[in-house]
Structure 1
């Protein structure tokens, strides 16, 4: 093997070792409870929304990493699963994602309607008055949540929808 080939092999092995070591810094999980982000001290995973109308999704946590694609839907909910410096590793409702700069994200909570014919009701009860019918793919602003229902605002309508019809809120999450 030539000197150049050995150098590239060493470089690839060293780069891989650095990536594995950095992976340990992305999240801290212990017996004491949920993972906490090393940069923000916020829980991991957690939900956020896309602040910008476009955001580059990179293969790694720096500007030198390749852009795999671009998120193009402002307010789209995303799940933060890791942190490194100013970068957040996020996934969308399809499980697709990568690294996004923190400035492209907002703490404002939104959800995506997953189920067909999701009804917004006036109260968090199955028989309550219907305020609107939401189609799959609609992005709604998230309000209060109890164990089964969440209050949403979308298209000028406000009401309660079953949590099971939404992506962007965990099943156990309660919001007041």
Structure 2
């Protein structure tokens, strides 16, 4: 199947609700990716500073007295890698910020239940989510629906045909 060959379909409320829930279920995946990119950036910056402060000696490289080797191949390569990871990190940050914004529609109790049931347990055990949060299983399920609908009304209802 090729997406370019597909007919455009009008967005429905259910499609939007599914999207919202899936994005919030993927919150910790995006957070893990953000952290992974941040770690890579820090590692590459350390490597960059290490090479800058302790340049290799020998071969036919001529080192300027002040140690300046601006735009050397290793600097260009490491700078490029850092830039790519920063781009990827900013995409993950966008997802995380959007989810945080969406969750601002929750009451503290709703956020507690929704976070446990949808984001941590991935909608697998409402009874356990209720036990962990101090609410009933029924309340957990209703809060999930309420939160999804609040997010939909605040951020998506204008986009549905």
**TM superposition score normalised by structure 1:** 0.26
Q: Which has the higher contact order (CA 8 A, sep 6+)?
A: 2
The structure with the largest strand share of the pair is 1
Please say which structure displays the higher CA radius of gyration.
2
**TM superposition score normalised by structure 2:** 0.28
